[in-house]
Amino acid sequence: MIINHPHLGPRDAAEFTILGDADLLKRPDWQAGNADYAFYHYLYLRDNPAGLHRELWFHECGDRSWLIVTRDTVTHAVLDVALARDVALSSKKPKVGKGARAAKKARTKKPAKGCIAEDSPK
Partner 1 sequence: MSSIHPLKLFPVKKVFFFPLIFVTVTLVVECSVAGVDMRYSIWSIVNQALKGNRGWTPVWREPEPKLHYDIVIIGGGGHGLATAFYLASRYGMTNIAVLEKGWIGSGNIGRNTTIVRSNYLLDGNEPFYEQSLKLWEGLEKDLNYNAMMSQRGIINLYHSDAQRDAFIRRGNAMRLHGADAKLLNKNELQKMCSFLDFENARFPIMGGLLQPRAGTARHDAVAWGYARGADQRGVDIIQNCEVTDFIIKNGTCTGVRTSRGKIQADKIGVAVAGSTSRVMAKAGLRLPIESHVLQAFVSEGLKPVIPGVITFGAGHFYISQSDKGGLVFGGDIDGYNSYAQRGNLPVFEDVCEGGMAIMPMIGRARVLRNWGGIMDMSMDGSPIIDKTPIAQLYLNAGWCYGGFKATPASGLCFAHLLARGEPHKVATKLRLDRFQRGAMLDERGAGAQPNLH
Q: Which amino acid is at 40?
A: Y
Cα dihedral sign for 20, 25, 104, 64?
A: negative
Indicate which single residue of 6, 7, 14, 32 sits in contact with partner 1 (rule: CB under 8 A).
Answer: 14
Nearer to partner 1, 57 or 96 (CB): 57
To which H or E segment does residue 17 belong?
strand 17-21
d(C-alpha 38, C-alpha 73), whole Å? 26
Angle ∠(50,54,55) on CA atoms, nearest 5 = 105
Counting contacts by CB under 8 A, is residue 122 touching partner 1? yes
Interface pattern 71-110 for partner 1 (x via CB under 8 A): x-xxxx---------------------------------x
Q: Which of residues 16-75 bind partner 1 (CB under 8 A)?
A: 17-18, 20-21, 37, 40-41, 43-50, 53, 55, 71, 73-75
Closest approach of Cβ 18 to partner 1, in Å? 5
By three-state DSSP, how is residue 45 classified?
coil
How many residues interact with partner 1 (rule CB under 8 A)?
36
Closest approach of Cβ 100 to partner 1, in Å? 17
- Rg of the chain taking only CA atoms, in angstroms: 16
d(C-alpha 117, C-alpha 52), whole Å? 27
Contact footprint for partner 1 (CB under 8 A) = 1, 12-14, 17-18, 20-21, 37, 40-41, 43-50, 53, 55, 71, 73-76, 110-117, 121-122
